[in-house]
Amino acid sequence: MNTRYYLTSFYNNEIRQTQSYLGALSEIRNNGLIVWNVNGVKVDVFTPELYEIFSSTELLVKNMDTNENVVINGKEYLTTYVQAFNEGKKYFESNFKISADTLYGQNAAIYVRDIHLNYFHTVHNPSYGEGWVFVKKSYAIILTHSAIKEYGFYSGIVSSVDEQVKKYAKLFENFDKCEHSTPVTTIEKQETKADRLKVELTKYGFFELPKVQALSELNQNKLIELLGSKGMPYSMAMFKHLEYITYLNRVHFNTSKNRDKEIANWFGKAQRTIKGNILVLNSKSTEDRSRYTSDQFIEIVKTDYEKLK
């Protein structure tokens, strides 16, 4: 039931060229979602990728246990999604249902702030992104019933929030504006460099990479610690080994300049430093190898990665 399937056509962007995908993308851009009626039960789907999974009876994937290319029925995952979606709606109803006292009382602003933080900022699962709203910005490139359950559950929560925002438009008129300066938490946490890096990497699909997915959660965190502490040349060499640079080029950035600028922000380094350390990873590059030294770490990162497996 929980075999891991790698969505090869999604990773290579082939799926984004199909008419079905483009139609789903257009509907989501216009309406924010696709409403799916499953045996009289309506659920919301927020990304064209999930739509393609659920609507395909012949989904080309790679079995990550056997390394074989196989065809599966994506519709089999829809039942898991529907069940989890309803669980998410029930969770929101139980934990965040608005009362008349809140709606018209002095605690209204605190209530909206709490929903805002959970919706946009709180990391509920480190493998995904900030806030419940990650379901509108990502999908599971490693397909399992567990992953679909996560997306279904948080999609149910997001659907409930969106309904409430529409229903109480006046109360939530500034809901999507980040006016707070410091999140309200019961326990103040000292954010480390690795913590900040993990948040940024999550936004850009790092935890969807097959080589990252192959690690335990504990060793995924150790990997982030290495990236945050070993220096820029090491980090770029590890990105190369994990095929993360290729992934960023295919999925998130249409130019290397934009990619390097974003990576520079993650690490607090100069954009030119990022560029140089990526270029020298190509053996044919004429970049200054005395100044940019990531190629010297190629074998080192391979060894470090194997120790984490």
pLDDT tens digits along 85-115: 999 999 999 888 877 767 777 778 888 888 9
pLDDT below 70 — which residues of the chain? Answer: 1, 11-13, 101, 126-127, 179-192
Reduced to 3 states (helix: H, G, I; strand: E, B; else coil), residue 127 is coil
Question: Would you list the DSSP string of 159-218?
Answer: HHHHHHHHHTTTTTTTTTS---SS---SS-----HHHHHHHHHHHTTGGGSHHHHTS-HH
Buried b (16+ CB within 10 A) or exposed e, 113-131: bebbbbbeeeeeeebbbbb
CB 227 within 8 A of CB 233: no
| Bridge partner list, 41 | 38
- What tens digit of pLDDT does each residue of 3-16 get? 889 887 776 667 77
Side-chain-side CA neighbours of residue 177 (13 Å): 6
The model's pTM: 0.61
pLDDT of residue 191: 43
Domain boundaries, the chain: 5-167, 193-308
Task: Identify the pLDDT of residue 3.
Answer: 87
Q: Which residues lie below 8 Å from residue 291, measured CB to CB, with a gap of 6+?
A: 276
pLDDT for res 190: 37
Antiparallel, parallel or unpaired: β 34-38 and 68-72: unpaired
Distances 141 to 6, 207, 270 between C-alpha atoms, Å = 6, 9, 31
